[in-house]
Each structure stands twice: as C-alpha cells, then as structure tokens.
Structure 1
Amino acid sequence: MIGLDFAGKTALVVGGSTGIGNAAAQMFREAGATVHVTGTRADAAAYEGTDGDLTGLTYHRLDIGDRNAVTAFDPGIAGLDALVIAAGMVMYKRAEFEIENFEKVISANLTGFMQLSTKFLPQLRAAKGSIVNVGSVASFKGVVGQPAYSASKGGLRTLTRSLAMAFAGDGVRVNLVAPGLIRTKMTEVTWGNEARAVATEAAIPLKRLGEPRDVGGAILFLCSDIAAYITGESILIDGGATA
C-alpha cells in the first residue's frame, strides 16, 4: 500500500519483544524497515516459547523503568524514522496502592517514555521521524484496581500532546494509540478466563477481542507519510467499546 513502504527506514520498538510491540516490529520488518527491539530478558533466545517472534529483528536488553539503563542505552542508530514505545507495567490484586509499587509503574509507564523521547530526539530529527506511544483506554478513564497504571496512561496522553508541540519545529511527530483489550500475555488474566472473555466480547460492538496486529496497523499508519499532518493525537483501538 502506498505510504506504508518502510524500505530503507529504521524503526526502534521499545518493548518490541512480545505482545503489541512485537506485532508492530514484525509489521515494520514486513514493510521493509530495519527494526531494533528491546526487552528485559538477557537475549533473544530467552523469548522462545513466548508470544514474541524476534525473527529478523535486532534485539537489545533494556528496562525502561531503570533510569540509568535508559541513559546508557545505545543501539547504534544514527537516523531513526520511527520510535515506538510499547513497554509497560501493570500490577494486580491492588498492589499499585502500595506507594513503592505505584512509583515503579509510573517510572516504567511515564518517566521512561519521556526519557526515551528526549534521548532519541537527535536521531528522530535527522530522519524527520515519528514517535508513537502505546497508551490504553485507561488513558481516558480511571481503573479502580490499578491507580498507577491509569494515572501513568492518562499522563502519557497529555505528555504525547506536549511533546508533539515541543518537537514540531524539529519535524518530529508524536502520537498515541490507545488499545482496549488486546489478546496479549499482559491481559491473559481476562481473556484466559472463559466467563470473563465471553462477557467482554459481548460488550464490544465488533464482538471480538483485539489482536496485537490490530494495533500494529495503526502504529504503522501513524509513522507513515500518509499521516504526515497528524501529530498530538490519540487513536482508540477497542472495537468500538468506548463508543
């Protein structure tokens, strides 16, 4: 499709070892890009048997919640056409109500995004590239059991808008995708329970859960020249659930 040809371009997908990030990384590769991904495990081999496919991708280890690790991170990229930040953290059983856990989630889901965006601005400026942050439907509403997750994702939405304005003069666009329930390891607590899955699907107008590539397609669109006049926007990808 015209505009979705990434031949000769470079993409870095932070959190691209599994889930939504991995789907986007593979779609960039299929579209001709050179793709770098990050994950928290020691090496690519450690992801065998997971929901990640690292075929054709260059893997780097990175904990986005570790400020020193982000500072030291150097994937050796001179020009960057697409920076996708898909890493994230969520805790269950009200663990986020403990302040230490609250801070960990905020660090991974918000501070790390800011640090990476400013760190790679020179490479993005050189290529007139694009940043896509992976938020959530929680970017638009509270989540009773995950106050840190919802606070971080809400903050990420306004951070996206702020950076879109700040980076526009550099020719760098910044947007956000906000997935609903997507079938990944992180959300298995819901779709892995048959009763919960059935009830959730019934409430979605399209009557199915989302798949990682559903989000990956929107990410590629936002990074493409088709979306050249779009910045500071957030796209909900939830099968119409919030409609």
Structure 2
Amino acid sequence: MTAPGDVNRFDGRVALVTGAARGIGARIAATLAARGAVVAHADLADVDDPGGPHSRHRVDIRSARSCAGLVAGVIDRHGRLDLLVNNAGVVRRGPAATMTEEDFTTVLDVNLTGTFRMCQAAYPALRAARGAVVNLGSTNGQIAVLNTVGYCVSKAGVLHLTRVLALEWARDAIRVNAVGPTIVPTDMTTDVRGDAAYLAEKLATIPLGRMAHPDDVANAVAYLLSDAAAMVTGQTVFVDGGVTIH
C-alpha cells in the first residue's frame, strides 16, 4: 500500500495495461510508472522485454488462452497484479446498412468481449490484491454517432460491463470503473482528423472546444485506479469537454 496521505501514487503495485504500445495506452503506462507503479505493457504487436522494473508482453485479447497466459506471465515476472487497464481496442467505420458482419463482430470481439476476457483472467489476482480495474469506454458508448455502429455498441457494452463487474466484485474489494474520452489525436483517429469538415463538426459538439489529449485520459485513469478514488466504483468518467452533458 502507499504511504498514508500519498493517495495518488502506486508504489509497490503492479499495473497491467493492454494496448500499451502506442497512443492512449502508452501514455497511461507512462503516467502510472511516473507515479511509482511497476507496469506490464501488453500489446498484440511482438515486443522485446527490455528488462528492468517494467515488462513487455504480447497478448491477443480475442483469445481467452492468450489473456490467461498474459496474466500468468505478469505474475511470474512481478509476483502480483494489482491494477488492470483495458485499453486495447479497434474501430471500423461505415454506414450500418452496409457494414459487413465481419467488421461488426470483430469490433465487438476486441472491444467488448476482449475486455471481459481480460477482466476474467485477472480476477483471481485482483481479488488477492484487493485491486482495481479501469476499462476504456468512449463518448460513443453514451451517445449515438454516425457510421460507427459496431464501435458505439461495443463501447456501450463496456460501460455496462463495468457496472455489472463493479456490483459483482465489490464483495471482493475490487473496484471497477471506466473512462469515456471524446476524440483523441491518436493513430485510431488519423482518418477522421484528416477530414476538415468532419473535424470542425466534431469540435462544435465539444463545449470546451478541443480534442482530449492522451494526458487527459491517462490522468483520469490514474485517479480511478488510485486510493484517491477508494469509494468510487461502477462509474464512468467522461473525459469529453462536456460532450455528454447536452
């Protein structure tokens, strides 16, 4: 546990972040490490483990076996698992009327079922540690957005999965929360950010008038994982500049 009064640090704790190779996941991992956590970075891409206090792992969250193997590998390397961040995700864009079944089900399998697989695999370790989980949702899980039906449905599922797990796992002192960002300048949004008309329309829906930065998301994740949020579970914090208030 952290020292009394030092509720924003993670000294002595091990955090696992999926989708940690780039973008939001990389920023979350760096933020947790800066606050004292030992971070296990997991991603679908093959990565070399550089050694030192932190570690890197390969995972395919479409596979329950891969998720279980990841958790086992983290515990073998670090001896415990206290914190889980389910950040890995994909998007497929297009009108609902013409989206292929494969595109729709792929997004659900990665974003929603993949989050469930990771939570389920990590549950015994989190129960032993009285740990915490943060799932990456989206404003798309709260409001309808054109041409992203699979992504919207998957993220809505993540937000409700968060509530259900928070209810079930409260008896084990495991807190489960979610963060719901608006558009963030990462590789996942490169295509739409390159469309000037789309971007202007998108920014017009954000009362604060800007995109969310990866740091904005990472700081919200760190808060929800920390002892500062010890009485917070089953909640979604929207990092959206006010998108979901109107």
Decide: shared fold, TM above 0.5: yes
CA deviation map 1:105-153 (0-9, x unaligned): 1110111111111111111112111000000001112333122111111
CA-atom RMSD, angstroms?
2.1
Q: Give, in angstroms, the shift of residue 94 of structure 1.
A: 4.2
Distance 1:68 1:83 in 2: 17
Unaligned runs of 5+ in 2: none
The residue type equivalent to 1:18 in the other structure is R
Distance 1:200 1:25 in 2: 28
CA deviation map 1:35-78 (0-9, x unaligned): 01111112159xxxxxxxxx974211112123342243332324
C-alpha contact (below 8 Å) 1:27/1:216 kept by paired residues: yes
Distance 2:41 2:124 in 1: 19
Identity %: 36
**2:119 is aligned with 1:117:** yes
Q: CA 1:242 to 1:87, structure 2 compared with 1: closer, same or farther past 3 Å?
A: same
The residue type equivalent to 2:64 in the other structure is R
Partner of 1:85: 86
Partner of 2:23: 19
C-alpha contact (below 8 Å) 1:29/1:56 kept by paired residues: no
Q: CA 1:56 to 1:80, structure 2 compared with 1: closer, same or farther past 3 Å?
A: closer
Unaligned runs of 5+ in 1: 46-54
**2:77 is aligned with 1:76:** no
- How many residues are paired up? 234
C-alpha contact (below 8 Å) 1:142/1:151 kept by paired residues: no
- Kindly report structure 1 stretches of 4+ aligned residues shifted beyond 4 Å: none
Q: Give, in angstroms, the shift of residue 2 of structure 1.
A: 3.3
Partner of 1:241: 243
Partner of 2:62: 65
The aligned runs of 1:116-135 (5 Å cut-off) are 116-135=118-137
Distance 1:71 1:174 in 2: 19
CA deviation map 1:3-40 (0-9, x unaligned): 11111111000111111111110000101110011111
Partner of 1:136: 138
**TM-score (structure 2 length as normaliser):** 0.88
Partner of 1:48: none
Distance 1:147 1:12 in 2: 29
* SS in structure 2 of the partner of residue 59 of structure 1: strand
Partner of 1:170: 172
Partner of 2:14: 10
Equivalent of 1:29, from 14, 28, 33? Answer: 33
The residue type equivalent to 1:80 in the other structure is L
Partner of 1:155: 157
Distance 1:130 1:44 in 2: 27
C-alpha contact (below 8 Å) 2:180/2:239 kept by paired residues: yes
**TM-score (structure 1 length as normaliser):** 0.89
